[in-house]
């Protein structure tokens, strides 16, 4: 008997009695468990656009992405002049809140609400908007500090 044969018998004896495996044997078994071999099915290259679509769907980002697209394309929906005077703030429960520069712009855009809703439906079909709330600028608050007195506040401020 030569040395290699004795070594092989000894390794088989150790494996059978103690379960000791060589590093190479452990690596081979781990690769077999994984089941992935080079050039197997499922190992083909994947396009970046397909993997991004899968990622967006997995994390439910498609609705947020469609909403962000509507917010960035606001000028295309309402026109350049109206976009300079207004911007969308939030979309919650199918209600789009739009902040306007003045109450006159808010009133003007309220009159155009049906046309704006139709444009949103055609240009951004993934975004569900059933109502638009146009909000004018807010007046400043006169209550400052922890010791404010209840009441109507200053009277002759706007003369």
pLDDT value of position 59: 84
Token digits of residue 55: 């990622």
pLDDT value of position 157: 58
pLDDT surpassing 90 at residue 135? yes
CATH superfamily name and code, 60-135: DnaA, N-terminal domain (3.30.300.180)
Every domain of the chain and the residues it spans? 60-135
pLDDT value of position 156: 58
The whole-chain average pLDDT of the chain stands at 83
Query: Which helix (H) or strand (E) is 132 found in, with range?
Result: strand 131-135
Q: 68 near 79, Cβ under 8 Å?
A: no
pLDDT digits (tens, 9 = 90+) for 64-114: 889 999 999 999 999 999 999 999 999 999 999 999 999 999 999 999 999
pTM greater than 0.85 (yes/no): no
pLDDT value of position 22: 74
Q: Got the DSSP string for 65-82?
A: HHHHHHHHTHHHHH-HHH
pLDDT value of position 27: 82
Token digits of residue 147: 């010791």
- Over pLDDT 70: what percentage of the chain? 81
Give the CA diameter of the chain: 115
CA distance 111 to 78: 12
Least confident of 13-17, 22-26, 101-105, 144-148: 13-17
């Amino acid at each position: 008997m030569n040395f290699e044969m004795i070594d092989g018998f000894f390794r088989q004896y150790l494996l059978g009695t103690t379960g000791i495996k060589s590093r190479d044997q452990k690596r081979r078994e781990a690769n077999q468990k994984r089941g992935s071999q080079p050039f197997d099915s499922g190992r083909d290259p994947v396009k970046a656009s397909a993997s991004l679509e899968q990622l967006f769907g997995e994390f439910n980002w498609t609705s947020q992405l469609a909403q962000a697209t509507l917010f960035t394309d606001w000028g295309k929906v309402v026109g350049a002049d109206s976009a300079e005077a207004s911007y969308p703030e939030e979309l919650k429960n199918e209600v789009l809140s739009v902040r306007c520069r003045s109450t006159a712009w808010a009133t003007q855009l309220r009159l155009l609400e049906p046309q704006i809703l139709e444009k949103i439906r055609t240009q951004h079909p993934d975004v569900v908007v059933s109502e638009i709330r146009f909000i004018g600028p807010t007046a400043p608050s006169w209550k400052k500090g922890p010791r404010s007195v209840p009441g109507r506040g200053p009277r002759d401020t706007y003369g």
